Amino acid sequence: MRTGRCTSLSLGGMFVETDLRLDYESFVDVEIIAPRVAPNLRIKGIVRWTKTHGFGLQLLPVGVAQTHELLILVDRERRASRPCE
């Protein structure tokens, strides 16, 4: 198992900062560990592009419960990155 840091999370995908090198169109199993999300969110994705410090991952379709948890995480990230008013 390898670890990375998820950034730019959306319902469609994410960027994973990691030193792991994957080929284009590689399938990946991802476990998102986030505060107040229990159990950890497990999803599958496919690598759509790579950089020296990580890769872009398109998320594959998930069930209703996982989509709900993902929406919560996306909203949390959006609120955290919004400037204070």
- The pLDDT value recorded for residue 52 is 92
Please state which of the four CATH numbers 3.10.580.10, 3.40.30.10, 2.40.10.220, 3.40.250.10 is assigned to the domain occupying 5-81: 2.40.10.220
Q: What is the mean pLDDT of residues 51-67?
A: 93
Q: For strands 13-17 and 5-7, give the pairing.
A: antiparallel
pTM as predicted: 0.82
CA-wise closest residue to 60 among 47, 50, 78? 47
Domain ranges of the chain: 5-81
Residues facing 57 on adjacent strands: 14, 47
| Structure confidence by residue, pLDDT tens digits, 3-36 | 888 888 899 999 999 999 999 999 999 998 877 6
Average confidence score pLDDT of the chain = 87
Residue 83 has pLDDT above 60, yes or no: no
